[in-house]
Amino acid sequence: MIMSPERSIDRRKFLTLAGSTAATVTVAGCGGGGDGAQTTEPGDGADGGDGDGGDGGDGTDDGDGDTEQTEPDDGGGGDVSGTLVYARGDHPENYDPQQTTSGEVAKVTNQVFDTLIQFAPGSGGQLEDALATDYSLDGTTATLELREGVTFHNGEEFTASDFKATYQRFTQSDYDYYLGDENRSGYGPFTLGNWIESVDDSEDYSLTIELQQQYAPFLRNLAMFAAAVLSKAQIEEMGASGDDQVSLGTQPVGTGPFAFDQLDNPNSRIRLTANEEFWGDGPNVANVVFKTIQENSTRVQDVINGDSHVTDNLDSDGFQRADSSGSATLLRKNGINVGYMAFNMARREEFRDRRVRRAVSHAVNTEAIVDQIYQGFATQADQPLPPDVLGHNDDLEPYPQDKDQAQSLLEEAGYGDGFEFELATFSNPRGYNPSPIQTANQVKSDLEDIGLSVNINQFSTFSPYLDYTDQGRHDACFLGWYTDNADPDNFLYVLLDPKVSMDAVPDGQDWVSFDTEGYSTLNVSAWANTDYMEIVREAQQTYDEGERESMYVEANRIAHDEAPWVFVDYAETLRAINEAVVEDSYTVSSVGGPYLNTVEIQ
């Protein structure tokens, strides 16, 4: 049974077995378009919720590094004052948590909205109470007791009916205020829709959720940014059609520590004000401003100068500049993420042959990428699941660079004369790929040595790039994923299970097309290995952590051997912080956040 914090596993054990439920049959806590419209870290397509807030990105700002001055007491209430400025590289224009997979969006929405359960800051994924003060999962029944006296920023009282309306808007096509297949993100099905049978909101401060099957990560899913609780009153005010519902993203209303105040798209800025009625800790500043500076060198200088207080997703040079500046600090934490290059088997026949995929994996020098290009802020990956997460297979090793072996595999597969393909890439750094253009050039150079011709297709901004990969238009592409909930299911099922019926995978074939019914475009490789699918689907229904661990170890072995991706890296979570931020008031987290409600500035 999964239960309230004092009854949950301790943090040390959790970091070793992150993402598991309890060893018994329940877990709890007490006092991370159709099935794939993406914008995204948390992530995001395939970027996740980017623990601690996002995945960085490209921007639309001119990169001039203009300043945002501290503004005492001109927003928010109580005795809080000042403006916290968060500099980032991208400026999405829609802040509806149900319409995105973007960590850049999550950085903002995590300040505006609350979830029923949340991740403890800095814990690597330990659950704690939020809008729910007690929760348990027993078999297929989740029971939650809700916090009383909480109000939305529009003055409406929070009750169980708000969560039910949130769930229905995200997943139920027969609901009057359904967001729509074209508008909702791919998070809808795998976070809530695939699992929930019914929601009982008959009592204002109690929820009973019946699941369609046992699903071990369910309580953890309730802490993901995509499970943010919306206001039922706002949902109904937005109108009865999906098109009308889209406007919620420009005026979001939540119960979080900061209220949405201004969306300034021409200047690529967002302003939040303190919620003086917030039920939790803080906020300790009157305002938060998210400003966009696309150019990395300008953005890090902005933090060094004190014109902004926090930034992320810089390249390795930028983080080193911050750390040696004297006026800024580099905060580091082990990340729960993976960076990869995916082969699109639905588009390219060559990639349907495992020997070709393994040949490419042997040719690409991932050791040089992490040591020389990423300058040691990452380690080589060897499987989809990062270390320190339940089911990581410690017996696997990264593919060693061996161009003779790569050439031999190509010849065996009938491609000894090589072939030409496109490699799609984004431009600005993500945490899991801080130097995407250099990385693409490294791959191009390595593959030319074995007779493969790579055409780099570089996107200047991230949202169009995700649309492109979401539609399966790439031959191969760079992507990555930050955990949403620190559970192995969030990597192995979300990214590499196509989520189609087993019967939809033709005999003798390990891929499916993107237009297969139920297909999840978070699986950008189109890989559909039925042995793998059976294991991860059984594991998500298993509550015994030892059994789950064994299953995931085997699933990772299959993924490593079948190589649907070139496994590139596991990256550290890094943030550059100006000295004006009070020491220890900002906590770096690998899952959830950023936790700006506790931040204080001088």
Q: Are residues 520 and 395 in the same domain?
A: yes
Q: Are residues 171 and 281 in the same domain?
A: yes
Name, in order, each residue with C-beta under 8 angstroms of 294's C-beta and a sequence gap of 6 or more.
Answer: 58, 59, 60, 61, 62, 63, 89, 90, 428
Q: Are residues 292 and 205 in the same domain?
A: yes
* Helical packing angle, 296-305 and 316-323, nearest 10°: 20
Q: Are residues 146 and 165 in the same domain?
A: yes
Q: Are residues 411 and 290 in the same domain?
A: no
Q: Are residues 452 and 341 in the same domain?
A: yes
- Residue 327 is predicted with a pLDDT of 96
Amino acid at 576: A
Q: Are residues 304 and 429 in the same domain?
A: no
Q: Are residues 230 and 278 in the same domain?
A: yes
Return the closest-CA partner of residue 162 out of 147, 142, 174, 173: 147
Q: Is residue 332 part of a domain?
A: no
Q: Is residue 26 part of a domain?
A: no
Q: Are residues 317 and 342 in the same domain?
A: no
Distances (CA, A) of 552 to 492, 563, 573: 8, 16, 24
- Residue 22 is predicted with a pLDDT of 33
Q: How many domains does the chain have?
A: 2
Q: Are residues 162 and 226 in the same domain?
A: yes
Q: Is residue 16 part of a domain?
A: no
- Residue 498 is predicted with a pLDDT of 96
CATH number of the domain residue 348 falls in: 3.10.105.10
CATH number of the domain residue 273 falls in: 3.40.190.10
Helix %, strand %, coil % of the chain (to 5)? 30, 20, 50
Mean pLDDT by 10 residues, the chain (602 residues): 39 31 34 33 42 39 39 45 93 93 91 97 91 97 98 97 97 94 88 94 98 96 97 91 80 97 96 97 97 91 97 86 93 93 98 98 98 93 96 98 98 98 92 93 98 97 90 97 93 96 96 95 96 98 97 98 98 94 93 95 92
Amino acid at 481: W
Q: Is residue 87 part of a domain?
A: yes
Q: Is residue 125 part of a domain?
A: yes
Is the distance from CB of 211 to CB of 142 less than 8 angstroms?
Answer: yes
Q: Is residue 68 part of a domain?
A: no
Return the closest-CA partner of residue 336 out of 128, 601, 32: 32
Taking CA 422 as the corner, what is the angle to CA 421 and CA 428, rounded to the nearest 5 degrees? 150
Q: Look at strands 269-274 and 258-264 and give their pairing.
A: antiparallel
Give the integer Cα–Cα distance in Å for 104 and 57: 8
What is the sign, positive or negative, of the torsion defined by CA atoms of 394, 433, 122, 109?
negative
- Residue 101 is predicted with a pLDDT of 81
372: containing domain: 337-572
Structure tokens at 329: 């600090």
Its pTM surpasses 0.85: no
159-196 pLDDT, tens digit each: 999 999 999 999 999 999 999 988 998 899 889 988 99
Is the distance from CB of 588 to CB of 333 less than 8 angstroms?
Answer: yes
Give the integer Cα–Cα distance in Å for 479 and 389: 20
Q: Is residue 70 part of a domain?
A: no
Q: Are residues 300 and 322 in the same domain?
A: yes
Q: Is residue 40 part of a domain?
A: no
Q: Are residues 315 and 411 in the same domain?
A: no
